[in-house]
């Protein structure tokens, strides 16, 4: 029996907040804190800390989707430009690259997440020809929940 080919996903999400850039950056760079505000992110465990900026950090993420499944993957931070960008290689049930870009303009902090990943789970790859739109929708729902959660979290922070 042959292995179903991995399916490539190019995904992009945009958030914007009426919050200072440094507050948004602090929340995003604190990945272990995501489960407090990001519905769907069940746990984040640091496997290696990396340097003072977080470069080289390895973390295991467990995410529960809107659909009835969980994904577990490990990221390694491969690039950090403080207050501008954090990027990581992903391995596990997803493989590829995730990048988070931040910018501040006209009183708004804008965040753009980009994922270029492929699935490794046999069941996902077998279902992908029919379910790929559903998997994309599911991703969008989780990311939307993250934007809402981060907005609420930022509103609770002292300024």
pLDDT at 65: 87
Question: Dihedral (C-alpha) 101, 16, 107, 156: value to the nearest 10 degrees?
Answer: -110
What predicted TM-score, i.e. pTM, was given to this entire model?
0.90
Helices (H) and strands (E) in the chain, counts: 3, 7
Q: How many CB atoms lie within 10 A of CB 100?
A: 19
Q: Say how many Å lie between the first and final Cα of the chain, rounded.
A: 59
List, in order of start, the domains of the chain with CATH numbers: 10-156 (3.30.530.20)
pLDDT digits (tens, 9 = 90+) for 17-66: 999 999 999 999 999 999 999 999 999 999 999 999 999 999 999 999 89
pLDDT digits (tens, 9 = 90+) for 85-137: 999 999 999 999 999 999 999 999 999 999 999 999 898 888 888 889 999 99
pLDDT digits (tens, 9 = 90+) for 144-154: 999 999 999 99
Handedness of CA 15, 38, 47, 82 (dihedral sign): positive
Q: What is the CA radius of gyration of the chain?
A: 16
């Amino acid at each position: 029996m042959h292995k179903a080919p991995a399916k490539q996903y190019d995904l992009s999400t945009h958030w914007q907040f009426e919050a200072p850039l440094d507050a948004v950056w602090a929340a995003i760079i604190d990945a272990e804190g995501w489960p407090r505000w990001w519905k769907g992110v069940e746990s984040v465990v640091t496997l290696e800390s990396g340097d003072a900026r977080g470069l080289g950090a390895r973390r295991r993420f467990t995410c529960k989707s809107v659909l009835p499944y969980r994904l577990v993957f490990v990221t390694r931070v491969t690039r950090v430009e403080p207050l501008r960008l954090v990027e990581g290689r992903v391995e596990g049930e997803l493989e590829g690259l995730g990048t988070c870009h931040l910018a501040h303009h006209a009183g708004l902090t804008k965040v753009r997440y980009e994922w270029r990943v492929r699935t490794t789970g046999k069941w996902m790859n077998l279902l992908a020809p029919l379910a790929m739109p559903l998997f994309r929708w599911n991703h969008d729902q989780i990311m939307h929940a993250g934007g809402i959660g981060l907005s609420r979290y930022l509103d609770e922070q002292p300024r």
